[in-house]
Amino acid sequence: MSKESSDNGNWKNWLSRQWAKIVTNRKLLPVLLVIGLLLSFAIPQFGLLNQYIVLILIYVGINIILSTSLNLVNGYMGEFSVGHAGFMAVGAYISAILTTKIIPDSLAPWLFPLVVFAGGTGAALIGLMVAIPSFKTRGDYLAIVTLAFLMIVKSLIENIEVIGGPRGIPGITRLTTLPWTFIWVVIAVWVIRNFVYSKFGRGVLSIREDEIASDLMSVNSRQVKMLTFVISSFFAGVAGALFAHILQFISPRVFDIIKSTDILIMVYLGGIGSIAGSILGALIFTILLEVLRPLGMWRMVLMPLVLVVLMIYRPRGIMGLREFRWFVPGYDLIATNLWRKKKEAKDVSTS
């Protein structure tokens, strides 16, 4: 009996060792990316999955971009921004105006990456403006600043008749395809992951832990905050542009506070300060909403209950402060684990 269980333990040990080998092998990453890219081309080309599932996959991709970029501000920098839908709206409107009014239809599919980039850049410029009040205010007051920003964007769009006012822009060509979504997701995750583990990223983390202390350690907090907001809002704009070209219709009502709440839920469901968490959060949130669709109106009753129960049993979200090893540079793994253990021990001691 005892021998059996120890055998079982050895077998499990062996399996986990092999698993760790696979997971830590970085050479697999490019292979997986190429496979993913080929799949994203092949699926729509040969009709491997039906249209509905492809659509959901595209939404999952857009939501991953949104949640990782919001995680940069809310998770890594420790602010509470609720204006992410506003940046999304800026990106969506810039790109939609470009494809419907300026670029001729025949050229639009070829220029689509540039259009998405333009949407992101526009949102990034606005993000720079929102970063300025964040120099002085923090916490709940910055939440108000971002909320006010969202309202101002929405209200401005409603008042400009040239871009449709409250009626929005109809008849946008469907340009967002699965490969483009996949490529933008990879770019977003790659840029944000490299940013988080760069010199600036350390600054971002130190601002979350203690802003005054990090200033004393010669972190240029203004520069770091500006950069963080710009990157975060750039990718929100990118996601907005992709979103506009899959929904094919945008209006100010699409980008209201409920949209921001959805993104917040994805981030905190997955876990703050974790790229893997954001990806998981977006995946679970989007797919769960689709799976629960047969429930009709009860779906949106059940969904928040799931969220509340999850928050009670895992207050830091699914992946809170943990990271999928592929995302962490080798030299960083030990330090991150040590820091997490310290943080969790502190949680226990204060309770």
Partner 1 sequence: MTYILQQGLNSLQLGSIYALIALGYTMVYGILTMINFAHGDLFMVGAFLCFLAATFLHLPFVPTLLIAMIGVALIGVVIERFAYKPLRQAPRVSAIITALGVGIFLENFTLVFAPYPQHVPTLIKNTTWVIGGVSVSSLQLIIIALSLVLMVLLDFIVRKTMVGMAMRAISWDKTIVPLMGIPLNLVISATFAIGTSLGGAAGVMYALAFPVIDPYMGIMIGWKAFIAAVVGGIGNIRGAMIGGFILGGVEILVAAFLPSTYRDFVAFTLLLILLIFRPYGILGKPRPQKV
Question: 169: helix, coil or strand?
Answer: strand
Residues that bind partner 1 in the complex, under the rule CB under 8 A: 74, 80, 133, 136-137, 140-141, 144-145, 147-149, 151-152, 154-156, 158-159, 166, 210, 212-213, 216, 257-258, 261, 264-265, 268-269, 272, 297-298, 300-301, 303-305, 307-308, 311-312, 315-317, 347, 350-351
* Rounded (5°) CA angle 173-179-181: 70
Smallest Cα–Cα separation from 129: which of 83, 193, 189? 83
Q: What is the DSSP string of 157-219?
A: HHH-GGGTGGG-B--------HHHHHHHHHHHHHHHHHHHTSHHHHHHHHHHH-HHHHHHTT-
Nearer CB in complex with partner 1: 106/351: 351
Q: Considering the complex, what minimum distance in angstroms separates the CB of residue 316 from partner 1?
A: 7
Nearer CB in complex with partner 1: 158/290: 158
Residues forming beta bridges with residue 250, ordered by sequence position: 169
Nearer CB in complex with partner 1: 162/297: 297
Q: Considering the complex, what minimum distance in angstroms separates the CB of residue 42 from partner 1?
A: 38
For the chain, the distance separating the N- and C-terminal CA atoms, rounded to the nearest angstrom, is 41
Q: What letter does residue 76 receive in the DSSP assignment?
A: I
Nearer CB in complex with partner 1: 89/238: 89
Q: Considering the complex, what minimum distance in angstroms separates the CB of residue 317 from partner 1?
A: 8
Q: Considering the complex, what minimum distance in angstroms separates the CB of residue 77 from partner 1?
A: 12
Nearer CB in complex with partner 1: 26/346: 346
Q: Considering the complex, what minimum distance in angstroms separates the CB of residue 78 from partner 1?
A: 9
CA 296 centroid distance within chain: 27
State the amino acid at position 250 in one-letter form. Answer: I
